[in-house]
Amino acid sequence: MDIYGKKEFYNLTFLFTSVFDNKARIVTEQILPPDIDGMPAKGPDNGAPFTYLNAEVIFARALEELLFISFYRCYAESLRSENWYRLRSMEGASETVKKHIVELGSLQKYVRQEEITEEMLEILGSGMFYR
């Protein structure tokens, strides 16, 4: 906060991944300077709020809260998208394992059938039925 107050940095932009409608997208969001024009205007019937603090103190604390909330939201969105990617990867791996299980099951049946056929041919070839 002191850095912004000393006017050493004027801009702060967050770049993070967000998931919306099962699609990941990269979001760029400008945090500083705050977009005052984008905030809803005070209505004509609303009076000024009662404040007992200096306007600079209120602005500094509101700006700190804005930064904290913005950092936390970007962190949560990034964590959510990372877990979404991991889940998609695990679902793909699960499908691959299921396919391999089916293939191995059919291979097992084929090998067992070959063993039975071989045993039957040995029995028939031994001539034990011809006595």
Residue 116 resides in a domain: no
Q: What is the DSSP letter of 50?
A: P
What would the pLDDT profile of 21-69 be if each residue is shown by its tens digit? Answer: 888 888 888 887 777 676 666 656 666 666 777 878 887 888 889 889 9
What would the pLDDT profile of 114-131 be if each residue is shown by its tens digit? Answer: 999 998 888 888 766 555
Query: For residues 43 and 53, is the Cβ–Cβ distance under 8 A?
Result: no
Residue 6 resides in a domain: yes
Residue 113 resides in a domain: no
Residue 66 resides in a domain: yes
Domain count, the chain: 1
Q: Which domain holds residue 63?
A: 2-38+48-98
pTM above threshold 0.75: no
Position 49 scores a pLDDT of 65
Position 7 scores a pLDDT of 66
Residue 23 resides in a domain: yes
Residue 31 resides in a domain: yes
Residue 13 resides in a domain: yes
Position 72 scores a pLDDT of 94
**Spacing of C-alpha 114 from chain mean position:** 48
